[in-house]
C-alpha cells in the first residue's frame, strides 16, 4: 500500500507526474526498466484509504491534503465533476488546520479551483504557494500572456528540465503562431516524462494528448492520430485520447469510426460530437448535463453555435465567460457565437481579437476567415 499512497501525490498540469516535488534541474537519463504498470484500481483504493484516515484523524492536515490530491487524480481519470468539489473541500479543511508548510494543500486547492475555472482565485493560491508555473498556467487561461511569460521564464531558470514548464512554454509559443518552437517544446516535454520510470501511465498519456491536440489544431491529422494512439497505448482508459481520435475521424469524413469511438466516451463533448454526427437523441442528455455543472460554458457555447440551436444562449454563456477571461479562445468562441446569432459587426471585433496574438490554430483562423469575409451591416 505504501506505493499506492505515495502515488496519489504524483501530479502535473493535467495529470499526475510525481510526488509533491519538482524535477531536479538535470538532464534525465533513459531508464533500463519499463514504466510502472497502470493499475485501474489503485486510485480508488487510495481514495478509500485516505477517506478512512481522514475520519480517524480529522485534524490531520497532511492526510486531508493527500485526500484532496487523490480526489483530483480520480477526477482526472474518471471524470466525475463532484470530485473537484470534494478535492476543494478537503484542501480547504487541510489549510484550515495548517496553512503554513502545507504545499500539497495549497497545490490541491489551486488545481481544484482551476478545474471549475475559478482561475483568478487559483492564481492567488499558486502565488501563495510560490509556484510560478502554476500561476502562469492560470494566467494563460485568463489571457494574461505577458505575465505568464515572465513567470515561466523564472520557473524555467529554476527548473530547466521540468516537463510541465516545457508544456506551458509550448502553449505560449502556440498562442503566438510559433508552431515549430511549440512542437519542439511539446516533444521535449514528452521525452522528459518518458525518461522517468516513476511517471504514471495517465501522466505519460497526458503529455501525448497535449502534443496530439496541438498537431490537430495545425491540421496534421496523421501525426495527431499517432500521438493519441500512443496515449492509449500508455493508458488504455484515456477518454481524452479516444475522444481526440473520434474528432479526427469526424474531421476526415469517417463518420462510422467517429461514432463508434465517441460512443465509448463518457464526456459531454462526446455527446456533442455524436449529435453533430446525426444522433439527435443526444440533445436531451447534453442539455441535462448543461443544466448542472458538468459542461463548461465555452464547450457548450461552441456546440450551440455550431448546430445553430440556442444561438442566443451561446452568446450569453460567452459574455459571462468573457467577464472572467480575456484569452484568445474566449474571444474566438464569443465571435463565433455572435456571428451565428446574426450579430456580425460585434463578431468581427472579437474575431480580430482572437487573431491578435498571431495564432495559427485552424479552428480560430477558420472562424475568423468566415466572419471577416462578410461585410458587417
pLDDT digits (tens, 9 = 90+) for 308-338: 989 999 999 999 999 989 999 999 999 999 9
- Could you give the CA distance from residue 53 to residue 254 in angstroms, rounded to a whole number? 49
The answer, yes or no, to whether residue 32 has pLDDT greater than 70, is no
- List the chain domain ranges: 40-116, 293-376
CATH 1.20.1260 for domain 40-116, yes or no, is no
Asked whether residue 12 carries a pLDDT value surpassing 90, the answer given is: no
The reported pLDDT for the residue numbered 294 is 55
Q: Which of 25 and 116 is assigned the larger pLDDT?
A: 116
Residue 24 has a pLDDT of: 41
Q: 36 versus 14: which is more confidently predicted?
A: 36
Q: Considering only residues 15 and 293, tell me which one the structure prediction assigns the higher pLDDT.
A: 293
The pLDDT assigned to 7 comes to 34
What average pLDDT does range 280-305 have in this prediction? 84
Please tell us whether the domain made up of 293-376 is placed in CATH 1.25.40. Answer: yes
Q: Which residue has the higher pLDDT, 94 or 32?
A: 94
pLDDT (0 to 100) of residue 376: 61
Q: What is the average pLDDT value for the chain, to the nearest integer?
A: 90
Q: Give the pLDDT of residue 20.
A: 39
Predicted pLDDT at 291: 64
Q: Is there a shared CATH topology between the 40-116 domain and the 293-376 domain?
A: yes
Record the pTM: 0.89
Q: Which grid coordinates belong to 375? A: 461585410
Say yes or no to pLDDT of 17 above 60.
no
Label each residue of the chain as H, E or C.
Answer: CHHHHHHCCEECCCCCCEECCCCCCCCCCCCCCCCCCCCCCHHHHHHHHHHHHHHHCCCCHHHHHHHHHHHHHHHHHHCCCHHHHHHHHHHHHHHHHCCCCCHHHHHHHHHHHHHCCCHHHHHHHHHHHCCHHHHHHHHHHHCCHHHHHHHHHHHHHHCCCCHHHHHHHHHHHHHCCCHHHHHHHHHHHHHHHHCCCCCCHHHHHHHHHHHHHHHHHCCCHHHHHHHHHHHHHHCCCCHHHHHHHHHHHHHCCCHHHHHHHHCCCCCHHHHHHHHHCCCCCHHHHHHHHHHCCCCCHHHHHHHHHHHCCCHHHHHHHHHHHHCCCCCHHHHHHHHHHHHHCCCHHHHHHHHHHHHCCCCCCHHHHHHHHHHHCCCCC
Output the pLDDT for position 290. Answer: 72
pLDDT at 10 (0 to 100):
42
Question: Which tens digit of pLDDT belongs to each residue from 210-252?
Answer: 999 999 999 999 999 999 999 999 999 999 999 999 999 999 9
What local confidence, expressed as pLDDT, does residue 79 receive? 84
- 25 pLDDT band (50/70/90 cuts)? very low
Amino acid at each position: 500500500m505504501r506505493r499506492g499512497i505515495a502515488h496519489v501525490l504524483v501530479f502535473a498540469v493535467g495529470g499526475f507526474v510525481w510526488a509533491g516535488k519538482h524535477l531536479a534541474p538535470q538532464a534525465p537519463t533513459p531508464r533500463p526498466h519499463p514504466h510502472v504498470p497502470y493499475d485501474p484500481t489503485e486510485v480508488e483504493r487510495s481514495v478509500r484509504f485516505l477517506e478512512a484516515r481522514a475520519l480517524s484523524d480529522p485534524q490531520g492536515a497532511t492526510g486531508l491534503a493527500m485526500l484532496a490530491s487523490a480526489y483530483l487524480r480520480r477526477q482526472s481519470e474518471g471524470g466525475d465533476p463532484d470530485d473537484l468539489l470534494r478535492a476543494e473541500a478537503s484542501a480547504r479543511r487541510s489549510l484550515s488546520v495548517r496553512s503554513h508548510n502545507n504545499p500539497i494543500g495549497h497545490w490541491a486547492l489551486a488545481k481544484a479551483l482551476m478545474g471549475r475555472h475559478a482561475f483568478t482565485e487559483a492564481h492567488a493560491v499558486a502565488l501563495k504557494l510560490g509556484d510560478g508555473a502554476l500561476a502562469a498556467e492560470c494566467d494563460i487561461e485568463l489571457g494574461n500572456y505577458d505575465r505568464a511569460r515572465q513567470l515561466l521564464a523564472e520557473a524555467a531558470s529554476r527548473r530547466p528540465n521540468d516537463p510541465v514548464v516545457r508544456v506551458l512554454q509550448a502553449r505560449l509559443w502556440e498562442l503566438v503562431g510559433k508552431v515549430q518552437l511549440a512542437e519542439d517544446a511539446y516533444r521535449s516535454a514528452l521525452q522528459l516524462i518518458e525518461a522517468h520510470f516513476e511517471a504514471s501511465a495517465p501522466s505519460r498519456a497526458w503529455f501525448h494528448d497535449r502534443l496530439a491536440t496541438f498537431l490537430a489544431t495545425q491540421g496534421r491529422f496523421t501525426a495527431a492520430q499517432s500521438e493519441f494512439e500512443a496515449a492509449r497505448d500508455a493508458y488504455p482508459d484515456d477518454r481524452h485520447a479516444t475522444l481526440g481520435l473520434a474528432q479526427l475521424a469526424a474531421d476526415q469524413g469517417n463518420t462510422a469510426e467517429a461514432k463508434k469511438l465517441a460512443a465509448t466516451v463518457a464526456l459531454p463533448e462526446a455527446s456533442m460530437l455524436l449529435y453533430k454526427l446525426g444522433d439527435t437523441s443526444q440533445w436531451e442528455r447534453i442539455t441535462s448535463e448543461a443544466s448542472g455543472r458538468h459542461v463548461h460554458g465555452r464547450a457548450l457555447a461552441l456546440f450551440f453555435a455550431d448546430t445553430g440551436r440556442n444561438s442566443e444562449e451561446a452568446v450569453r454563456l460567452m459574455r459571462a465567460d468573457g467577464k472572467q477571461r480575456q484569452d484568445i479562445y474566449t474571444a474566438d468562441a464569443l465571435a463565433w457565437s455572435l456571428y451565428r446569432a446574426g450579430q456580425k459587426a460585434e463578431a468581427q471585433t472579437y474575431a480580430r481579437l482572437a487573431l491578435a496574438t498571431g495564432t495559427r490554430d485552424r479552428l480560430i483562423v477558420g472562424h475568423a476567415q468566415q466572419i471577416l469575409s462578410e461585410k458587417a451591416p
